[in-house]
Chains A and B, each alone.
Chain A
Amino acid sequence: NAGVMQNPRHLVRRRGQEARLRCSPMKGHSHVYWYRQLPEEGLKFMVYLQKENIIDESGMPKERFSAEFPKEGPSILRIQQVVRGDSAAYFCASSQEGSTGELFFGEGSRLTVL
């Protein structure tokens, strides 16, 4: 995997702070997905983006969470005013096509909210 790059790998925030997680897709991939893994749970879909477009954000909490994938630069998942329940591993994946399901994952960003 020549790599989906995520950073930071670990992030610690206090309640009320903002968390920003970044994801650079594999070279040549224009489809980006964010998944969240809560403790003892499987990965849950959050949002699907293409360059400058949010295609599906049906898995995103209605408040405090936002995502973008600008024309230049990485995709960013932003969590405002974090709460303890936001503590999780956030995985980014990318694909060449939007519907084949062949996703290539990053190593994840582990958010801990104190």
Chain B
Amino acid sequence: AQSVSQHNHHVILSEAASLELGCNYSYGGTVNLFWYVQYPGQHLQLLLKYFSGDPLVKGIKGFEAEFIKSKFSFNLRKPSVQWSDTAEYFCAVQYSGAGSYQLTFGKGTKLSVIP
């Protein structure tokens, strides 16, 4: 079965620290990759996406992610986090083929940024 793994359940950082959240997916051919963020009390929002082309993708609010095909990974990074980045982050994969509209989500990583 297709699956997405997020390595960290809860990450606690101080402001200005660098962030890297891991995401690995099971092999399934061509994929589209996404990171969503859910701020406290709010809806899921798209941070960034990768469909094709440059494997280093830049998103909103200074976030970026790198697609490494050989490692089936799509890690999220930010050089310097802010308190307002406190949220839950979800990696999601869209596999090609039948049912390609479905997104398979990881379990999420809660990020707490301490001022």
Whether both chains belong to one complex is answered with yes
B43 to A40, Cβ gap below 8 A? no
B46, CB-defined interface residue at 8 Å: yes
B99 to A1, Cβ gap below 8 A? no
Q: Which of B44, B106, B108 has the most CB of A within 10 A?
A: B44
Residues 41-76 (chain A) with a chain B CB within 8 angstroms: 41-45, 48, 55-56, 58-59
The 8 A-B residue pairs with the shortest CB-CB distance, nearest first, are: A42-B105, A105-B44, A101-B94, A107-B43, A43-B105, A42-B107, A45-B102, A105-B43
A42 to B44, Cβ gap below 8 A? no
How many residues on B have C-beta within 8 angstroms of the other chain's C-beta atoms?
A: 25
CB-based A-B contact count at 8 angstroms: 63
Shortest C-beta distance, A110 to chain B (Å), equals 11
Q: Which of A95, A101, A104 has the most CB of B within 10 A?
A: A101
Shortest C-beta distance, A1 to chain B (Å), equals 7
Residues of A within 8 A of B103 (CB): 35, 43, 45, 101, 103
A102, CB-defined interface residue at 8 Å: yes
Chain A contacts to B: CB under 8 angstroms: 1, 4, 31, 33, 35, 40-45, 48, 55-56, 58-59, 91, 93, 95, 98-108
Shortest C-beta distance, A61 to chain B (Å), equals 16
A41 to B107, Cβ gap below 8 A? yes
Complexed CA–CA distance, A103 and B108 (Å): 17
Residues of A within 8 A of B101 (CB): 31, 33, 48, 55-56, 95, 98-99, 101
Main secondary structure of the interface of B (DSSP, over half): strand
B43 to A108, Cβ gap below 8 A? yes
Residues of A within 8 A of B34 (CB): 101
Given the interface pairs A41-B107, A44-B105, the reply to whether A107 lies near B100 with Cβ below 8 Å is no
Shortest C-beta distance, A94 to chain B (Å), equals 12
B105 to A40, Cβ gap below 8 A? no
Complexed CA–CA distance, A45 and B43 (Å): 16
B44 to A91, Cβ gap below 8 A? yes
Given the interface pairs A40-B107, A101-B94, the reply to whether A48 lies near B102 with Cβ below 8 Å is yes
A56 to B94, Cβ gap below 8 A? no
